[in-house]
Each structure stands twice: as structure tokens, then as C-alpha cells.
Structure 1
């Protein structure tokens, strides 16, 4: 059984204690226009005043926080999202875990709730908008994106965290480099070996066992969501809209898809959780090892920015 406490090492604790003595948010950052909003809060563009760094600022009202936890050196509880991002080390660019959005800073501000200062990579677009604009993606491009997501999630799970809301809107794609960042850990939780009985993710990405029995396990939930996401990428839309369709677990293909790709999707979308692959098995599936996209596929990607 994995420890349910969020523990930070001594070096991190020291850093946290120093951090709490910093200046107020408005002295360090400028908060700009709204980028988007959802059930857990709103995200604004922002700028770090010391060096002009472009950042994203996520505002989470205290009454929308679903899970709380405590951090060393903090008198008051904080949203689980902050603890999980700290546990992941922010996904430092260029190192293992680089596929995770980095938490640069955070504040609790009276009347505004919690403000999370996150990295804002240039030329990025979320995968939902990317697919909406371009339609179904070539398999080579979908493979390149999915391979990065799977590796990032393996890193997340290895650090005792489960995201619980993997979907196209929570994947940022750099349209120049095709590098991926997983965002929005508002539904995340500590990884455990026993079933979960609460779910704050997106319903059309949820598995049959949640729809029918209101419980699921971390690994099988994640893999089911990845099956939905892969179908979404190669067909241009999600496979299921209703509970009946989710429970039937039989996607209807709207485009010509390779047998290898259909094989992986079908495996991930197995009705029985135990019949689904692990993340490691996904990574070694023949379709995942089929090579990168063609030069023609890359050349069709125009630069986009947030």
C-alpha cells in the first residue's frame, strides 16, 4: 500500500519555509486576460515582473477545492493539486518528467482563493483545439503525441500520483516541436492500490466500472482514458457520448484506421478493467513502436500560439 501522506524531502521543506516569506502575489506577478475556465477555476495569462517571463495563472476559489492536504511548514491546508505538482517536482524541462506542466509558485490570497503560477510554453495549443481545427490526425502524429503522454504518465504514477482527468483539453502541444505537456491536476490524487469511489474527471472519458459501479482503479482508469484519447486523435471525435455507449465498450470507427491502431484502442477500451494493458504494455505495443510521422505530416502543422 502506498503512503497516503504527501511527504517532501528536507531540501524541499527548506525551500518551502523560505518561500513563505516572499512578497505578495501582486508585487511579483501581473495577471492578464482570461485564457479559459472550468469546474475547478479559471486560468489567466500572466507575467513575472522580475524578468518578464510569460506564465499562466490558475485561480482556484477555496469553495471549489475538492480535496485538501497539508504541507510541511504550512499552518493551513492547501489544495491537493498544489501538493501533487510539488510531489512531481514540476516536471523540470529537459529532465525526466518534462511532459508535466511546471508549478513555478503559488499563493493564498484573501478573497481570491489560491493562485497557482504555472509555466506557459510558447506556441502551445491544447489538443482539443488542435483536433478541432485540423480534424482527425495522421496516425504517425497521433503516435508521437501518445508516446509522450504515456511516458509522462508513467513518471506521474512512479511518483505516487494519479491524474484522473486525462483528455484532449488537458494536453498542451507545442506546434513547432510537437512536444507535449499534461496540465490541470485539479482532479489528481495520491496513487493507491485499492479502488477509488470518487471521480471528478470528465464523464465521457470515464470507464464502464465507474458508470455501473461507481468505483475504479487508478491504472485501468488511466488506460481507458488513453483509449478514448487515441480514438479521438485518429477519428477526430470521442467514441462514446452516453452511458450505454460507454458500457457497451465497442467504438464505431468513422475513418479508415490501421489494424494495429484499432488493436491498441480496443485493448485500452476493454470492458473488463483487468483485460486492459498497463502503461508499460501500451508503450511496447506494435503500433506504438511503428515509427514517427512522415515529413509530409510535420510540414502540414502551422505554428500556433496561445
Structure 2
């Protein structure tokens, strides 16, 4: 999934109807929205997709819908190790891979409970690898129900097997990210995609293959622009402004997410319900609306400042 060009891989939202059912028509429209913005891949059935609130059948249907809409234009990855045992997780990974995804993403925190030592995690990873044949895998340091971060040493070991081609990093630690990229630099099929936009430019500069962040569910075109221009010496001032924008707006974009992101898309004119299964409703409180209105105004101001360099203004 990695190329020399840095790519934005959105963590996809799942649109729902007002009755809580998955809105597959809107999912197709949303997929096209990411692609029009320049996404270089798609991460379906992830935390932003409300994957823990989808049935197994819905998970597979969502993935299939995304694949059908993408039509091979970009690679698609999807989370897949669901089940109470490693054997059950391996079986579901096979079902996800059979949909046609490029790689199945493994949630590290589902492989070992929070109180278990790291060796248990490593043993369970080895077991999962042995049960899933040659299926290409990725790892995701999913923060829910708790976060388990892979060490650079462990990630390097996994990538060296040739089976692991994708990593969504949520360590929030640029030192770790740099070390992970250093240890995995000799494996061109592998790519690290950083979730933490506070150090986006530093991460891309250190060798990360791209960005995979919730901010892309507000401003996908801006994340794409940063991936393409982070090291453009002619745009140093503009890059600094964009990086600072993401730093300054971090808290706003995380508040009441993913509902806030759906509300922002609705404000922009996208025919999408604000309903989330996490909350069970479409209600957006006044403070969230006020925060998103302010965010939109500051975004428009940013676009004006960099308009000469920003193709999507």
C-alpha cells in the first residue's frame, strides 16, 4: 500500500439512517467524497466507522460497499480480528480478506487484555500469524477499549516476516515513530500511517508513508495537501500554517467525535445524518455546534492565507 508519494488514508465514517440502520447509499457517496479529495487508500471498518457497534454481517457489508464503490481505484484495508479467541479472530480475518481488501488490520488491544504482559501479546500475534496463512496484515494501535502500543522492536520484527504491510500509529510519540520508520525502512511493501496530526510534518519527514487521522473526516483535502507538500521548500510558510492549524484545532475536532465530524459534513451540504450508534441519536448539543461553527470560520481563514498554494480552496 505504500509508495514514495505520501498518502492520506481516511479512517472512514459510517453513515446511518435516522432509525440507526447503515445508510449504504450515503456510504457510497462518502467514499466518493474521500476519493475526490485525493485519498490514496481507504480504511474501512475502523473505530471512526463505529466498528464495535456493527454486527459481523454489517462489518462485512460495509467493507464490501466500500470496495465496490472504490472499484480498484485505491487500495482498501479493514479491521478484522474480532472474536473472543485467537482462533475466532483468525476465522473472521479470513472472511474480511475474502471481500478483496489489500490487507486485514489487526487491533493490537484485542490480542491481550490490558493487565497482561507484553509477552502474551507477542505470543498471541505469533499464533494469529500461524492461523491466517499468507494473508497480508496490518496493525492498529486502537485506543478503545484501551490502547496497546507496539514497540519499535516488535513492529520491526513483525514487518520482517513479510506479512505485515501496514501500521496505523497512535503512539503520539514522534521519537517512537522515527524509530519505527528506521527499523522498517528496508521493507518497501510496508507503510506507517500516523494518526497524530500534532507532529504530522515531522512524521512524514521521518519516513511515514502517510497520514490516517480523524481530521481527514473534516478536511480531507487539507490532509492530502499536507501529504503532498510537507517538504516543498517553496511552501514552507504555508506548511507551517497548516501544521499549526491542526495543532490548534486538535481538541475541537476530537470533541463529540464522530458526531461532530458528521455534523460538519452536513453543514458543508453533504446529505448525511448526524446519527451515531455510539449515542443512539442525532442530537448535537449547542456547545458542539458553536465549536464546529468556529472551526469552520478558522478553516476558511486558513484557506484564504494559503489560497495561492491550496488547489482545493
TM-score when scaled to structure 2?
0.29
More helix by share: 2
Bigger relative contact order, structure 1 or 2 (CA pairs below 8 A, ≥6 apart): 2
More strand by share: 1
TM-score when scaled to structure 1?
0.29
